[in-house]
Structure formats: structure tokens, C-alpha cells
A and B are shown apart, each in its own frame.
Chain A
Amino acid sequence: MTEKLTLTSPADLLAYIPHLLGGTPTESIVVLTATAGALGATLRVDGPMDTAPLGFAQTVTSLAAQDENATACYLIVYTDETSTDARFPYAAHVAALGNELATARMPVRKVYLVTSTHWAAYGSTERNPLDQIKDSNANATLTFRGSAPNVDVYNPALLGKWVEPVQVPVRTEESIEEARREWGTVLETPGMPDRESARQLAAWFQDNYIRDFLMADVITTNNGVIIDILLGKFDGCPDWKRVDHAEIIAFELMKVVPEGQRAPMLTLMGWLQWLKGYGKHAERYLKLAVEDAPGYRFAELLHELIGRVYIAEVAKNQETAYKRPTS
């Protein structure tokens, strides 16, 4: 059942965003779509940097238009970039975005600014403390319901420093079948694999060809077409609990291999985050993958694709999109 959350103030609205995005944005622009009296989709893009205002605004508007029900929106600028005018960061981009969103029949109701020290109505001289967001009713309610905005599977402190490398297996028809069978069993079994199983799985992930199968096998609603699987176009809603489980297992596998062999699992984690609609988290994992194994091609390519404002198909549709678990 869908629970009701009443947001009565700007602080409530600003508190709600980290719960949806899995963290407080930085150097970003967020568009919150809305209908009469209710909020819709949340879109976050990186701050525009050197991008021309009109092109930026058109791209962001086309992404926001994925919410076909939206009739209005809110803009939130997250930045510490106040070198020109502290009240109007990214002024040309915000203005262009306002025009484009209005043209797309999603006029902007309000614009807010959030820095690392305060928040304000965009263009005003006020400097409201961030504690107002933290102490808001919305934050308290969402936290009470079990939502944690900063839950992170990846914890580098848990990764071993002195671990023997795994031997990359010889790829045969039989080994592919065995790898997929073992991976399927682990995905369907609560808890974590034992160390020996984890090292065997981590070894299979080192082979690019087998890795591709193992990644695709996380999604049981796939249609067997590789391009669809990669881009998140599935037959129905994925088993998101299985996806969450796969992400945790991927981190477990990272614990049993040394640096230089963790990239396949980091890439899997990045892809899964992207499927969930979290492009920023995906980018982080993919960067870590390339740091772990410089030149790791899959992570580099996926990073480039995601950086071109690609949204996974499954994340666009509210019926199939990820639902974050609550405790």
C-alpha cells in the first residue's frame, strides 16, 4: 500500500529529495515534477558547467517529460559555485530551464538553492540553516518509516588487503553452465556464499564472456535480447529484492579477491545502480572499477554511456522502477 506523506514547507520538500536519491546532491540541479497537490518524478542532473544554457535546458526538459502526468515542477539548485552572484548561481541555465519547462507545460512553481552551509529561495538574500531540513517533519516521518538516505553497500574498509588472486578459469560450455548455475543458486539463497564459493564466483566474473551472462542472469524478467537487458528493457518489473541481493553479494565477492580483480563486481554494482535510476551512484562504482583495473573496458564504456544522460528503460516507468526497501 502506498503511504501518504504530507509536505507542508520548503524544508519538507528539500528533506524529501535525499531519501529519493540515496543522498544529498552536490553541484546538481534537481527537477521535481508535480501535479495538482502531489509530487511526481525526481530528476537530478550534474550542474551545467560549460554547457550552453539552451541545450542544457532542452535536454533536462526532455528528461523531465518522461513523467507524462506532470503539470508543474520545482527546481532545486545544489551548489557552492557562487563566484558570480551568490543569489543566482547558474542564472542563465535556470532561466532557460524555466522557459523550456513552461513550454513543455510543466511551469516552475518555485526555485530553491541549497549550498553546503544554507538553503534559500533562489534569488533571495535569506540564509536558512540546513538544520531546518534535517529537523523537518518530512525527514522525521521518512526516517521513522525506515528510509535511510545514505545507505551504502560499498565499504572499502571491509576489503581485505592481503588476499590471494583467483585463477581465471578456462572458458568452456561446461564452465559457463556451471558458473550460471552456481550464481543462480547464490542469488536465490538468503545470506552470503561461503569463502570458497565466493572465490569461485569471483573467478568466473574475471572472464568477460561469463561475466556478461552472470550480469544478465540477475534479471529474471529479461527477454533474452542482450541489448534490451543492458539498457534495462525488461518483461515486467524486475525482482528488485534479487537485484539488491546481487549487489550485496557482489561486494562480498570483492572481499575475497585482491585489488585488480574487483572491477567486474564493481561494474555489476554500477550497472545495477543505474537500473535503479541512480546514475550518480552508478558513476561512482564505474570509476572505482577503472581505478581498480585501469582500462577495464566494460566499466569505461558503461560510464561513457551513462554520462550521456541515459536513463535505464526500467527506471522510466513508475510501475517497474526500483522501490527502495525500508527496514
Chain B
Amino acid sequence: MGTEYILTEDDKPAPGASFLENVIELQLLTAGESLGPVDFTHPQEHHDF
């Protein structure tokens, strides 16, 4: 059984709606400038250099 997600009355979806899409739209309102995608990784070995 999956997680019970927290949805308020306002979160009740319209037909065909997607809460993840709505979240991204909100996030885009405060997102930075468009420089393209970023890769960000961490070392998986200890390195001497």
C-alpha cells in the first residue's frame, strides 16, 4: 500500500488535472534564469589528486 498523500480541499483535482504539474507551475514563478540543465554529482571514491 502506498503513502497517503496530504491533499487539502483546494488540492482536489479537476478532471485531467495533475497536482505535480500545478506544483511545477508554481515553482516556475520563482525560478531563476534559464541557463540549461545542470549535472551535479558527488565522488564515489576517495581521490588523491
Contact = CB atoms under 8 A, between A and B. Distances in A.
B20 A42 contact: no
A202 interface: no
A324 B44 contact: yes
Contacts of B17: 208-209
Give the most central of B21, B35, B38, B44: most A CB within 10 Å. B38
Contacts of A166: none
Interface residues of A, number: 75
A279 B37 CA distance: 5
A118 to B, nearest CB: 22
A301 B20 CA distance: 10
A277 B37 CA distance: 10
Contacts of B25: 301
B49 A316 contact: no
A212 B19 contact: yes
Interface string B2-45: 11111100010100111111011111100111111111111111
Contact of B39 (A42, A215, A301): A42
A315 B41 contact: yes
A59 B3 contact: no
A42 B42 CA distance: 6
Nearest to B31: A308
Interface of A: 2-8, 12-13, 16, 20-21, 25, 34, 37-46, 48, 51, 55-56, 59, 63, 66, 180-181, 184, 208-209, 211-213, 215-217, 222, 224-227, 230-231, 274, 277-280, 282-283, 297-298, 301-302, 304-311, 315-316, 318, 321-324
15 contacts: A20-B43, A20-B44, A37-B49, A39-B43, A41-B40, A43-B40, A45-B36, A51-B33, A181-B1, A216-B3, A224-B3, A230-B27, A277-B42, A282-B37, A306-B37
Kindly list the 4 A-B residue pairs having the minimum CB-CB distance in the complex, ordered from nearest: A279-B37, A46-B36, A44-B39, A208-B18
